[in-house]
Amino acid sequence: MSAYQRWVASDVVIRSSGCLFCSPLTPYTALASSLAPFSISLCCSFCRMVTAKVWVLKKHFEGFPKPSDFEMKQVALANLKDGELLLESVFLSVDPYMRPYSKRDMKEGDVMIGTQVARIVESKNPAFAVGTFVVANRGWRTHFISDGKDLNLLPASWPESLPKSLALGTVGMPGLTAYVGLFEICKMKPGETVLVNAAAGAVGSVVGQLAKIGGCKVVGCAGSDSKVAYLKNIGFDEAFNYKTVASLDEALRKASPDGYDCFFDNVGGEFASIAINHMKKFGRIAVCGAISQYNDSVPQKGPYIQIPMIFNELSMKGFIVSSWHNHREEGVKALLKWVLEGKLKYHEQVTERFENMPAAFIGMLKGENLGKAVVKV
């Protein structure tokens, strides 16, 4: 059992509306802490137990996730022990990986996996001050308890004016994915041509801009004309709507008649099978994601990639950004610097309210997000 699964199992789920700890009849009241504006906890008016809201996976997804696959529950949090902290989620991330990882790692009834920017609202740990913001990996929860070991502080140089939600996006895991994929996997060099799909999303929008910062020509594709306009706006040399072009093959040829040195693949499936035929000799492909396949009930079949791989002596490497944690500090520092210099633009698709987590997740899988999809609790 992983530490995460042990934590889920240790939660006490309240099914009645009263306080499980002192009396099922004692009402909960919304307790605005002295640390407003962020802190509003559901707290028993008598014993002051905090109740967290959580979203659980009610039913394993079949095909595309739907609202009835999720259930919101309440979880009573125990009083803090020495060394512990109470945190409240301020922003939660919804990411494509939640779809394939739910199938691989979760069972029905588990709290949905995911990360948040959270604020410490109570501390019995002298190393952590109340009011500090951190990034945590505690799933779809409004509140949780930590001993501090699983928390990542935002960089000390994070300016007050910069949205803290960027720690889940451009200056967080997705930004680092772009950084590692381009510099370490594709080994992009100035003057080369880079192709990226899902280009208007959290990872793709950073890929394109880092490639421009690195002196490359960048071609991107996305699923709507407004996304294409955004890509041009943030500096992509060529961009097209993969849903409306008459032929993907023609669109790729037209955007770069000489082909592509690097292909940052977020999508897989049909697009990748066509794009591979447009790679230049010794081209490099970073296999980052395969979102076009995550909701498939029946696995897609070929075409198969061996022939273009051999003819053009291509390199293709899959990667998981968390395995590149030794690049984390350097990557976050560089991303933050580029954002502050205005060289790396960001857009966030902010959905309001914790209750809308499933809608935000489903919307992101359908392509409703421009930039990083986050939920503001």
In the window 317-376, what residues touch ligand LYYGC724 (CB under 6 A)? 320-322
Partner interacting with residue 113 (select from ligand NDP, ligand LYYGC724, none; CB below 5-8 Å by kind): ligand LYYGC724
Start-to-end CA span in the chain (Å): 29
User: What tokens appear for 199 in the block?
Assistant: 């280009």
Burial of 3 (0-12, 13-18, 19+ CB in 10 A): exposed
Q: Measured at the alpha carbon of residue 181, what is the angle toward residues 177 and 183, in degrees to the nearest 5? A: 115
User: What tokens appear for 288 in the block?
Assistant: 């980052």
Partner interacting with residue 203 (select from ligand LYYGC724, ligand NDP, none; CB below 5-8 Å by kind): ligand NDP
Closest CA to 304 of 318, 294, 316: 316
Of 49-57, 94-102, 155-163, 238-246: span binding ligand LYYGC724 (CB under 6 A): 94-102
Looking at beta carbons only, is 135 or 321 nearer to ligand LYYGC724?
321
**Interaction of residue 7 with ligand LYYGC724, rule CB under 6 A:** no
CB 180 within 8 A of CB 208: no
CB 131 within 8 A of CB 98: no
Closest CA to 79 of 36, 33, 21, 32: 21
Binding residue for ligand LYYGC724 (CB under 6 A) from 7, 46, 64, 101? Answer: 101
φ/ψ of residue 92, rounded to 5 = -115, 145
Looking at beta carbons only, is 141 or 212 nearer to ligand LYYGC724?
141
d(CA 21, CA 48) in angstroms, rounded, equals 10
Q: What is the largest CA-CA distance in the chain?
A: 73
Looking at beta carbons only, is 85 or 370 nearer to ligand NDP?
370
CB 134 within 8 A of CB 152: yes
Position 90: which residue type?
V
**Alpha helices for the chain (secondary structure H):** 3-10, 98-105, 173-180, 202-213, 225-233, 248-255, 269-275, 306-311, 328-341, 357-365
Of 15-23, 120-128, 282-290, 302-310: span binding ligand NDP (CB under 6 A): 282-290
Binding residue for ligand LYYGC724 (CB under 6 A) from 125, 132, 137, 315? Answer: 137
Please list, in sequence order, all residues whose beta carbon lies within 8 angstroms of the beta carbon of residue 204, skipping any fewer than 6 positions away. Answer: 178, 196, 197, 198, 220, 222, 264, 266
CB of 96 to ligand NDP, least distance (A): 4
From residue 238 to residue 277, the character string flagging contacts with ligand NDP as x (rule: CB under 6 A) and all else as - is ----------------------------xx----------
Binding residue for ligand NDP (CB under 6 A) from 112, 291, 362, 377? Answer: 291
CB 172 within 8 A of CB 92: no
CB of 305 to ligand LYYGC724, least distance (A): 17
Looking at beta carbons only, is 2 or 306 nearer to ligand LYYGC724?
2
From residue 113 to residue 132, the character string flagging contacts with ligand LYYGC724 as x (rule: CB under 6 A) and all else as - is x-------------------
Of 33-41, 208-216, 247-255, 319-327: span binding ligand NDP (CB under 6 A): 319-327
Partner interacting with residue 360 (select from ligand LYYGC724, ligand NDP, none; CB below 5-8 Å by kind): none
In the window 158-217, what residues touch ligand LYYGC724 (CB under 6 A)? 173
Partner interacting with residue 369 (select from ligand LYYGC724, ligand NDP, none; CB below 5-8 Å by kind): ligand NDP
In the window 260-299, what residues touch ligand LYYGC724 (CB under 6 A)? 289-290
Q: Tell me the CA distances in angstroms from 308 to 79, 115, 269, 276, one per residue in order.
A: 60, 38, 16, 7
CB 155 within 8 A of CB 333: yes
CB of 308 to ligand NDP, least distance (A): 20
Number of residues in contact with ligand NDP under rule CB under 6 A: 30
d(CA 334, CA 357) in angstroms, rounded, equals 30
Residues that bind ligand LYYGC724 (CB under 6 A): 2, 4, 96-97, 100-101, 105, 113, 137, 173, 289-290, 320-322
Q: Which residues are at the interface with ligand NDP (CB under 6 A)?
A: 95-97, 174, 177, 198, 200-204, 222-224, 227, 266-267, 288-292, 319-321, 364-365, 367, 369, 373
